[in-house]
Structure 1
Amino acid sequence: MVLAAVAVALLSSALLIENFARAHAERRAVEGLRQVAVDFRDALDRGMAQQFKEIRVLSQLEPFRRFDDPAAMRRALDQVQIGFDHFAWMGVTDADGRVLAAAGGLLDGVNVSKRPWWQGAQKGPFVGDVHAAVMLEKLLPRQSDPWRFVDFAVPLLDSSGQRRGVFGAHLSWSWARQIKSELIDATMAAHQADALVLGQDGTVILGPSALEGRKLAEGMGEPGMALRQHAVDGEDYFGVSVQSTGYGAYPGLGWTVLVRQPVSVALADYYLLRHQIVLSAALLLALAVPMCWWLARRMSRPLNQLTEALARRHHLGSGEQLPQVGGYREAAVLSHALSELTRRQAEQDQWLAQLNASLELRVEDRTVELQAAMIKQEASERRLRTIADNLPVLISYIDAEQRLRFLNATFRTWMGTEPEAALGRTMKDIFGVVIYEQRLPAVKGALAGVRQRFETRSEANGVQRDLLTEYIPDVQADGTVAGFYTLATDITAFKQVERELDQLSRIDALTGLPNRRQFDQRLAEALARSRRSGLQMALMFLDIDHFKQINDNLGHAAGDMVLKVFAERVCSCVRETDLVCRLAGDEFVLILEGLNQTEEATVVAQKVLDAVSAPLSLAGTDVALSTSIGVACARGDGDSDAALLDRADDALYAAKAAGRGGWRMAE
């Protein structure tokens, strides 16, 4: 075990050190490559920005704006090219793309309007990506590498802003190769690394001659790549790529600078350290083997002596005295403790024999007492069961796992199931998922030690019952809750009377319409629905014109009949979803919901006027009926219910003031 512990410790330490060393070496390699890539990228961007700036400055010189003197332009271009020898070609074209003058007379008179650099200059200053020479290949001196250029073009404008021509230049790509050679090639060679410049399509535009013009493998030149191993020609590389971002007025061409270094070179120090770690771990393990063997022998010899002595005994307290062993302090202490334990065990055996004889007598007496107590308990349980089974209340006990452990006979009457069939099953199994989820908060509260009381309505065995249920926690002496008792009382008759009384309190006895109490509730609900839907609603306030005269002339019985007829005629003019209420006396209200336009309410108001004015005969007497209506509309986000009713009431008084028998819309 000690050897295993030493081996685990050595291997764990070696792995941790090895992982840390590798991560550190990789991080240093990547950071070094990243710094080189950033420096190279910035040098390219600043250099391109400088060339772009030079071309823009040259295009502003006076000789290049005198289109009437091409010879003067050519002389100026020849002089400029002497100081800017990195430009392989410089020239000026007219507005149609024909070369008016060029340094060295190259391409004079040639139409270059189809060239990308000339077309790009029609929109403003232009910088083109690296490309091979087309027309200049045959005119320029031969060199070991093919000619490649970066195009610059600046439109030439006259004083009125009209385009007169284009100043163009082809920057030799050997300029970039010179920057790479001066800036990073020496450093790269010392570390066996190389740097590449990739175009937008992933093609190598600057790098080792064997790779120029080729596309790298998918993802190898992906911008932003921080650390990635990839195989090129059978060798793994660390690669860091950064994307060109431009500099100043130069917008950048989307180039990517990729700096890579072979993994074997970047991690050379790490490989050497790993070899040293392996050798050190092997040496330490070799030293630990004899040390652990000696330690095991020293510890096991006295323990083996004690083990052999104990193996010859059938019982710890029997046999000869145990041998005294030494060798080291712990073994001597253990030997002394075992000898003392043997002596005490012998004394304990003798005392247990005496105690066993007396216990047999006490067990016989206790058995008689337990039998008498069980008979008494059974009688008590029978009495409690008889009482519980004859109560008109469903009584049960549910344990902490929500399983039914007791049910009285009322369960059979209400549920149509024998109590014995439900015992041991969970509440979810007995009552179903829906009822269980409804009662789950109360169940959790009872199991938390809080008494619960609630009313429910449920259907079982084909009968619907309103129940008043109480959950009484079964709290133990230590404060834990072992379960809870349930008492469910049938209050169906009481709730039915309560519902009937509530219904009577909301209905007008004469007309059968909702009364003022129900109207107040329904108006608030209608306003809330209007707010949610965004549709309008209307409230109409109606009363019967000259109703007092009808009561005075024909009597209150005729007045009641008029109220009934009036209510029926108003109800016939509205939808089933609309609400007609009688507030008091001859005052009625009408709630219309889901209106798209205010005119819909006025149409209903006119229908009510026409329906109410139909002929009516009571006891042989013709009664002329008419009504006045006040209409108030709301979208639900303005008035309260009281304010809306007040506006409808004001509109009603306006209708009466206008001569009765009509309607008015509240402002």
Structure 2
Amino acid sequence: MSKPSLRFDVLLAGLISLLFFSMTLGLTFFISQHATNRLQSEVGMNLSTTAHQLSDKLDHYMWSRYAEVKLLGSLSTIQQTEQKTETRRTLEELQRQIPDFSWIGRLDTEGNVVASTNQILEGTSIKERPVFQQALSQPFIGDVHEAVLLAKLLPNPSGEPLQFVDISTPLYDKGRFSGVLATHLSFEWAKAIEQSFQSATSSLQQVDVFIISQDRKTILLGPSGWSGKTLPDSVTLTSNASATASWQGKEFVSGQSTSRGYKDYDGLGWTVLVRQPTSIAFADADALRQTIFIAGLIASFVTAVLGWMLAKLLTRPLLKITHAAQQMQDDPSKSLPNHRGIREIETLTDALQRLIHRLLHTEQEKLTFERLSQRDSLTGLANRNGLAQYIEQLPAETHSIYLCLDLDGFKAVNDTYGHALGDLLLIEVSQRLEQLLPPGGFVARLGGDEFIIVLTTQSLTEARYLGEQWIAHVSMPYHLEEQTVHIGMSIGVAEQVTGESLEQVMHRADLALYRSKQNGRGCMSVQ
């Protein structure tokens, strides 16, 4: 009878050892896959965020030039055809202030250039060009194209073919069509923005930036040798998402963002693609997977040996532990039984408890990271994610008033004193906004020098009063790093009405802010 009993014990020990080995290895594999997938997903999200930020910067730049052309076209000097010398002087002054305008011309109703910067093309007819034809009745923004008439007159210092973006607007003198204001905006500005953006994201290794045309095939701007080429067939543009694809035999992960314009500028449909070699992007994830696998393999082997050696002694306690572990799969609040008297059982129980604690701690760290993702790292205010979370948690019947804030003169401070002082200025502005924030109010930084305040317990009259207080408070002098700087602030206010979505009320607040800017800044408008 003793021999069959011995074989049963050996078989039982082997089964227990195999069970522990498999469970530990399986858990290790699950944790490894989950952790690495999370890291890889975060890499893609970071690249997509980078692409979105660059796309947003390009849209803001184009909108600024578009607005400047429309503003210039509203001047009586430009609208009238008689003041040729004064018109040329005005055009050249704009070009001097904004050198990215390679050429600016005032055309008559027949498409003849009557005045232009440096008298280039004066007396020449360009009536067949889209910059004239498309602007006969409404403003026109044309996509990137190579210079036709100006290629020889305005050679590119870099030796590369000169490329332009056309911006033009119809002119009216006392209500009658009097011609077109046409401009050629050098595409070199996009390269400058891309280079500055590369410097700002230098912490990302081997990152390449591509700007792809509206046809989603032609590369307008990219690394050396890529500009003007066609996007490889292996690369699929998936709007505002990350993807992995092969580029000439090498794997890259990329984040993308398609231009959606800004305010009354509808955008040119460009797609910004930011790519990074998978060997660099996923290096941390691969290292983590290898570490977890080795640790899991060691842990699996150790538990198997312990199970083999202590099978007879641990049979009954292990059954209880296994039963408790099965219960924990359905109810995480359950815990393993505490066995005392057998050191090995105590050690195993404590080890499993610590493992569970580490897993729960890891989950808690994940939640903490998600909370941090809702805060602006510079000012500590909520960011766009935090704003969305706050709005989502508001009761449906909440009466909200939205104040869109934009600093006046911040760019001049940034350009004069540098970004470091500009960051300090943003921090102090945030503190001043919070100082006057009433109970129940919410303030967030949307990016750059844009902020938003949500009031939920105030009337529109009270919101106006608070807005004036904020403008006055923010407009007071700032003493930063032995420098005294002055800025202002404009506010657009919109009161949410029943049935109105967040996007609609924020759009109205943006329109009100735009009106405040037009009215001279440092003021508040209600939409």
For the pair 1:124 / 2:145, whether they are aligned, the reply is no
For the pair 1:101 / 2:115, whether they are aligned, the reply is yes
For the pair 1:49 / 2:49, whether they are aligned, the reply is no
Q: Identify if the C-alpha distance between structure 1 residues 18 and 62 changes in structure 2 by more than 3 Å, giving closer, same or farther.
A: same
Unaligned runs of 5+ residues in structure 1 are 301-667
Paired with 2:138 and 2:102, the residues of 1 have a C-alpha distance of 22
| Matching residue of 1:22 | 36
Q: Identify if the C-alpha distance between structure 1 residues 80 and 278 changes in structure 2 by more than 3 Å, giving closer, same or farther.
A: closer
**Correspondence for 1:149 among 158, 164, 170:** 164
Q: Identify if the C-alpha distance between structure 1 residues 118 and 189 changes in structure 2 by more than 3 Å, giving closer, same or farther.
A: farther
3-state SS in 2 of match to 1:55: helix
| Matching residue of 2:276 | 261
TM-score by length of 2: 0.53
1:154 Cα shift? 0.8
1:79 Cα shift? 2.6
For the pair 1:216 / 2:218, whether they are aligned, the reply is no
Paired with 2:238 and 2:114, the residues of 1 have a C-alpha distance of 42
3-state SS in 2 of match to 1:121: coil
In the comparison of the two structures, how many residue pairs are matched? 299
1:204 Cα shift? 1.3
Paired with 1:2 and 1:158, the residues of 2 have a C-alpha distance of 93
Q: Identify if the C-alpha distance between structure 1 residues 162 and 8 changes in structure 2 by more than 3 Å, giving closer, same or farther.
A: same
1:205 Cα shift? 1.1
| Matching residue of 1:280 | 295
3-state SS in 2 of match to 1:28: helix
Paired with 1:168 and 1:129, the residues of 2 have a C-alpha distance of 14
The Cα offsets for residues 525-553 of structure 1, whole Å up to 9 and x where unpaired, read as xxxxxxxxxxxxxxxxxxxxxxxxxxxxx
8 Å Cα contact 2:240-2:258 kept in structure 1:
no
Paired with 2:305 and 2:34, the residues of 1 have a C-alpha distance of 31
1:45 Cα shift? 0.9
Paired with 2:30 and 2:305, the residues of 1 have a C-alpha distance of 26
Counterpart residue type for residue 26 of structure 1? Q
| Matching residue of 1:33 | 47
Paired with 2:43 and 2:285, the residues of 1 have a C-alpha distance of 11
Structure 1 residues 109-188: aligned runs within 5 Å: 109-144=123-158, 145-159=160-174, 161-188=175-202
8 Å Cα contact 1:221-1:256 kept in structure 2:
no
1:221 Cα shift? 5.1
Paired with 2:42 and 2:295, the residues of 1 have a C-alpha distance of 25
1:183 Cα shift? 2.9
For the pair 1:9 / 2:18, whether they are aligned, the reply is no
- Structure with higher RCO (Cα < 8 A, 6+ apart): 2
8 Å Cα contact 1:185-1:194 kept in structure 2:
no
Paired with 2:309 and 2:168, the residues of 1 have a C-alpha distance of 88
Counterpart residue type for residue 40 of structure 1? L
The Cα offsets for residues 312-357 of structure 1, whole Å up to 9 and x where unpaired, read as xxxxxxxxxxxxxxxxxxxxxxxxxxxxxxxxxxxxxxxxxxxxxx
8 Å Cα contact 1:89-1:170 kept in structure 2:
yes
Paired with 1:297 and 1:247, the residues of 2 have a C-alpha distance of 73
The Cα offsets for residues 568-613 of structure 1, whole Å up to 9 and x where unpaired, read as xxxxxxxxxxxxxxxxxxxxxxxxxxxxxxxxxxxxxxxxxxxxxx
Q: Identify if the C-alpha distance between structure 1 residues 173 and 221 changes in structure 2 by more than 3 Å, giving closer, same or farther.
A: farther
8 Å Cα contact 1:14-1:277 kept in structure 2:
yes
1:104 Cα shift? 0.8
Q: Identify if the C-alpha distance between structure 1 residues 90 and 38 changes in structure 2 by more than 3 Å, giving closer, same or farther.
A: same
| Matching residue of 1:240 | 255
Structure 1 residues 399-418: aligned runs within 5 Å: none
8 Å Cα contact 2:17-2:305 kept in structure 1:
no
3-state SS in 1 of match to 2:110: coil
Paired with 1:13 and 1:270, the residues of 2 have a C-alpha distance of 17
Paired with 2:314 and 2:153, the residues of 1 have a C-alpha distance of 96
8 Å Cα contact 2:105-2:117 kept in structure 1:
yes
8 Å Cα contact 2:20-2:300 kept in structure 1:
yes
The Cα offsets for residues 497-518 of structure 1, whole Å up to 9 and x where unpaired, read as xxxxxxxxxxxxxxxxxxxxxx
Counterpart residue type for residue 79 of structure 1? E
Paired with 1:77 and 1:225, the residues of 2 have a C-alpha distance of 38
Paired with 2:97 and 2:308, the residues of 1 have a C-alpha distance of 85
1:280 Cα shift? 1.7
| Matching residue of 2:440 | none
Query: Percentage identity across aligned positions?
Result: 33
How large is the Cα RMSD of the aligned pairs? 2.3
Counterpart residue type for residue 38 of structure 1? H
Unaligned runs of 5+ residues in structure 2 are 1-14, 316-527
**Correspondence for 2:213 among 199, 216, 226:** 199
Paired with 1:52 and 1:130, the residues of 2 have a C-alpha distance of 15
1:211 Cα shift? 1.5
1:10 Cα shift? 2.0
Paired with 2:234 and 2:245, the residues of 1 have a C-alpha distance of 10
3-state SS in 2 of match to 1:215: coil
| Matching residue of 1:78 | 92
Structure 1 residues 377-396: aligned runs within 5 Å: none
Counterpart residue type for residue 45 of structure 1? D
1:17 Cα shift? 0.8
Counterpart residue type for residue 262 of structure 2? Y
Paired with 1:25 and 1:288, the residues of 2 have a C-alpha distance of 29
Paired with 1:206 and 1:243, the residues of 2 have a C-alpha distance of 15
Paired with 1:78 and 1:299, the residues of 2 have a C-alpha distance of 91
Paired with 1:249 and 1:230, the residues of 2 have a C-alpha distance of 35
Q: Identify if the C-alpha distance between structure 1 residues 81 and 5 changes in structure 2 by more than 3 Å, giving closer, same or farther.
A: same
Structure 1 residues 368-447: aligned runs within 5 Å: none
Counterpart residue type for residue 242 of structure 1? S
8 Å Cα contact 1:188-1:194 kept in structure 2:
no
Paired with 1:176 and 1:187, the residues of 2 have a C-alpha distance of 16
3-state SS in 2 of match to 1:190: coil
8 Å Cα contact 1:117-1:151 kept in structure 2:
yes
| Matching residue of 1:624 | none
TM-score by length of 1: 0.43
1:290 Cα shift? 4.6
1:228 Cα shift? 1.7
8 Å Cα contact 1:223-1:256 kept in structure 2:
no
1:249 Cα shift? 1.7
8 Å Cα contact 2:20-2:304 kept in structure 1:
no
1:251 Cα shift? 1.6
1:200 Cα shift? 0.8
3-state SS in 1 of match to 2:263: coil
| Matching residue of 2:336 | none
Counterpart residue type for residue 183 of structure 2? A
1:13 Cα shift? 1.0
Structure 1 residues 611-626: aligned runs within 5 Å: none
| Matching residue of 1:190 | 204
1:227 Cα shift? 2.9
Q: Identify if the C-alpha distance between structure 1 residues 232 and 219 changes in structure 2 by more than 3 Å, giving closer, same or farther.
A: closer
| Matching residue of 1:616 | none
Structure 1 residues 444-483: aligned runs within 5 Å: none
Paired with 2:239 and 2:41, the residues of 1 have a C-alpha distance of 16
The Cα offsets for residues 256-275 of structure 1, whole Å up to 9 and x where unpaired, read as 11122222222211111111
Q: Identify if the C-alpha distance between structure 1 residues 3 and 91 changes in structure 2 by more than 3 Å, giving closer, same or farther.
A: same
Counterpart residue type for residue 44 of structure 2? V
Q: Identify if the C-alpha distance between structure 1 residues 199 and 221 changes in structure 2 by more than 3 Å, giving closer, same or farther.
A: farther
Paired with 1:245 and 1:298, the residues of 2 have a C-alpha distance of 69
Paired with 2:201 and 2:163, the residues of 1 have a C-alpha distance of 26
Q: Identify if the C-alpha distance between structure 1 residues 289 and 21 changes in structure 2 by more than 3 Å, giving closer, same or farther.
A: closer
Paired with 2:282 and 2:233, the residues of 1 have a C-alpha distance of 25
3-state SS in 1 of match to 2:157: coil
Structure 1 residues 237-636: aligned runs within 5 Å: 237-288=252-303, 290-295=305-310
1:3 Cα shift? 2.3
3-state SS in 1 of match to 2:201: helix
